[in-house]
Amino acid sequence: MPTPTKGSRFGGGPAHERLMLGNLATALFEHGRITTTHAKAKRLRPLAERMVTFAKRGDISARRRVLTVVKDKGVVHTLFTEIGPSYAGRQGGYTRIIKIGNRKGDNAPMAIIELVEPMAEAVVAEATGATKRAVKESAAKSEDAKVVEEITPDTEEVLEEETSAPVNTEGEEAVSAGEEAEPKE
């Protein structure tokens, strides 16, 4: 007798479990996030991540493997054309499980399972490695610049002269008393 997979079967046989997980995966890829019990979300996560990995491969054999689980061809098409390529730079962790409390009727622990947004990892990738060092260096340079930009009595007089000079709205230079304006060509 073969050893059953780890985890609960949710009160049914193996065929019922496969169908239920396939329907949950279909709903997840169609809507991006679903609300279900925490136990079902934990069982769905490895299956959904495997399907996204197949979608990243994108070949016909991977599409046929996904079609054995997800029966809706439209959902498989969106999985292979939109969802899979958007996670091309990510090695794993395509889903997230968020606990939301217990269900009112039977007090079952509920959770939201959702696809992680692909744009979020681009922001995380920018904040790691050499870029993080560059951010620290630019912060240190800006602190040095603040120290240099302190206003001294000499710079205060220069600032007052610049702000008190009349401004011409036609784009010509301001004329101080005693000087004639030269027309611009």
- Give pTM, 2 decimals: 0.62
Is residue 50 located within the same domain as residue 25? Answer: yes
The single-letter code of the amino acid at 178 is: G
Residue 53 CA to residue 45 CA, distance in Å, equals 12
Beta bridge partners of 34: 113
Flag whether 5 is in a domain.
no
Between CA 182 and CA 175 the distance in angstroms is 9
Q: Residues 153, 99: one domain?
A: no
Q: 21 and 100 share a domain?
A: yes
Examine the domain organization and report whether 23 and 104 are in the same domain: yes
Q: Is the pLDDT of residue 141 over 70?
A: no
Q: Does residue 1 surpass a pLDDT of 90? A: no
Q: Is pLDDT above 70 for 154?
A: no
Q: Are residues 102 and 58 in the same domain?
A: yes
Q: Are residues 92 and 136 in the same domain?
A: no
Chain segment 81-96, per-residue pLDDT in tens:
999 999 999 999 999 9
Judgement on whether residues 103 and 141 belong to the same structural domain of the protein: no
Helix-helix angle 14-31:38-57, to 10 degrees: 70
Residue type at 174 in one-letter notation: A
> Is residue 66 one of the residues assigned to a domain?
yes
8 Å CB contact between 47 and 3: no
Q: Which domain holds residue 144?
A: 130-163
For residue 177, being part of any structural domain is answered with no
**Mean pLDDT for the chain?**
79
pLDDT band at 6 (very low <50, low <70, confident <90, very high): low
Give the per-residue pLDDT at 10: 83
170: its two tokens: 């036609």
Is there a single domain that holds both residue 107 and residue 38? yes
> Rounded mean pLDDT of 127-146?
56
Query: pLDDT per residue over 101-110, tens digit each?
Result: 999 999 999 9
Are residues 31 and 104 both part of a single domain? yes
Rounded CA-CA distance 116/36 in Å is 17
Residues 85 and 151 in one domain: no
Q: What is the DSSP letter of 18?
A: H
